[in-house]
Amino acid sequence: MIPIEAVLLSFLLIAAVAVCVMRRLLASIIIFTSYGIVMSVLWILLAAPDLAIAEAAVGTGISGVLFFVVLKRIQVMEKEHREEEGRRRRLGWKTGGRHVPRYSYNIFSIVACLSFTCVLLFTTSRLPPFGNPGNPTNNEVPERYIERGVQETGAVNAVASMILDYRAFDTFGETCLLFAAVCAILVLLRHDIPIGIYDVFLHEMEEPRQNIILKNMAFFLVAMIMIFGFYVILNGHLSPGGGFSGGAILGASLVLYTSAYGTVRARNFINYKVYCRIVSICLAFYALAKGYSFYTGANHITSVIPLGLPGSLISAGLIPPLNIAVGLIVGCTVYVIYILFSKGELQ
């Protein structure tokens, strides 16, 4: 382990503990986002740029934004709760109730964390030595991916050839899980009662920002982020990136646009109907495309889809269009999750 890796790992441990013990939620969120940035650097040092891009977009950008939105909603709810208690006191009503002592939650959290940590440490101690050629993972499967991946899939990026060709069925399941996650969040965060306590919060989310500097900077940043996201998607079979990483970047650009201009303006080009159409078309295309590949491969039938010249943009057979489908699903899902967290409803 090189010294810089040891320093970054030490920072991760300190940050993980600090997130748990910080009494201010804002400070915890800032530390959490810095944790994601350091993780991205570590993935780069470990020669995993695909994970580094995804961690930077999701672990730092999207997750941080969602935490900030939740924090803002909590502040609005606490303000309304304090005002309601004040009204009850003025009217002579009984306020408060039976509260569980705070230390009981702390004790339970400490016990749960220590138990989980012991399980992880025990599991890690039973793993085979890192880098040992005799490890069970070093078998004919990764050798096939590395030695014949370019010949069989046409993709220079070995990660893309694995997740969108050799293990495309797993990727299809993960993509369906994103749609299921949106459905679960919609059920949990929907408004079943009048949204009176959220009026202040929702009004601010709906209204476009009046800061000219924020709007102009967001306009240029959104354009550049979108271009970079499409670049990562379209070059996923040639370089680190692909549908998941590029889709997360696209989703981050949509979130930035909505934060600067408001949800009303963003709804003009992406809403619930548009989201359903995009996800349905992309999932159907993915299922049909890989169903064709599975059928031809299982029956030893030569596919009519050419692999192209490895290293060129138009190559790798079905991998580029599958990357586009996955990227659109991930990007729209990230945006919809942000809207659900901020408003609790889709329109």
What is the band of 227 on the pLDDT scale with cuts at 50, 70, 90? very high
Share of the chain above pLDDT 70, in %: 87
Local structure of residue 315 (DSSP, 8 states): B
User: Residue 100 above 60 pLDDT?
Assistant: no
Q: Residue 272 to residues 69, 279, 285, 345, 347: CA-CA distances in angstroms?
A: 20, 11, 20, 10, 5
Query: Is 60 exceeded by the pLDDT of residue 198?
Result: no
pLDDT band at 136 (very low <50, low <70, confident <90, very high): confident
Phi and psi at residue 308, in whole multiples of 5°?
Answer: 75, -170
pLDDT at position 201 over 70: no
Q: Which positions ≥6 away from 339 have C-beta within 8 Å?
A: 258, 263, 346
Q: What is the mean pLDDT of residues 153-165?
A: 89
Structure tokens, 319:
């991998």
pLDDT, mean of residues 56-66: 84
pLDDT per position as a tens digit, 282-326: 999 999 998 888 888 888 888 888 888 888 988 988 999 999 999
Count of C-beta atoms within a 10 Å radius of residue 256: 19
Of 125-134, 200-209, 272-281, the range with the highest mean pLDDT is: 272-281
What is the predicted pLDDT for the residue at 11? 92
* Mean of pLDDT values over 55-77: 81
Write out the two tokens for 104.
């009981």
pLDDT band at 194 (very low <50, low <70, confident <90, very high): very low
The first and second tokens of residue 20, run together, are: 């748990």
* DSSP-assigned beta bridge partners for residue 308: 315
With bands split at pLDDT 50, 70 and 90, how would you rate the model's confidence at 344? low
| Residue 204 scores a pLDDT above 60 | no
When computed from its CA atoms, the radius of gyration of the chain, rounded to whole angstroms, is 24
For residue range 277-290, list pLDDT tens digits in order: 998 999 999 999 98
pLDDT of the residue at 93: 60
Tens of pLDDT, residues 1-21: 678 888 998 999 899 889 888
Helix (H, G, I), strand (E, B) or coil at 308: strand
Measured between alpha carbons, how far is 234 from 121 in angstroms, rounded to an integer? 40
CA distance linking residue 242 with residue 158, whole number of Å: 11
Q: Please, which pLDDT band fits residue 98 given cuts at 50, 70 and 90? A: low
Give the pLDDT confidence score for residue 2 in this predicted structure: 76
What is the Cα–Cα distance from 120 to 114, expressed in whole angstroms? Answer: 10
Q: What mean pLDDT, rounded, does the chain reach?
A: 83
Res. 208: pLDDT tops 60: no
* Three-state secondary structure string covering 91-136: CCCCCCCCCCCHHHHHHHHHHHHHHHHHHHHHHHHCCCCCCCCCCC
- Minimum mean pLDDT among 74-83, 156-165, 205-214: which range? 205-214
**pLDDT category of residue 193 using cuts at 50, 70 and 90:** very low
Ordered alpha helix ranges (H), 267-318: 272-298
pTM of the model: 0.81
Residue 6 phi/psi, 5° resolution?
-65, -40
Would you list the domain boundaries of the chain? Answer: 1-90, 154-347
How many degrees, rounded to 5, is the angle at CA 330 between CA 222 and CA 297?
Answer: 135
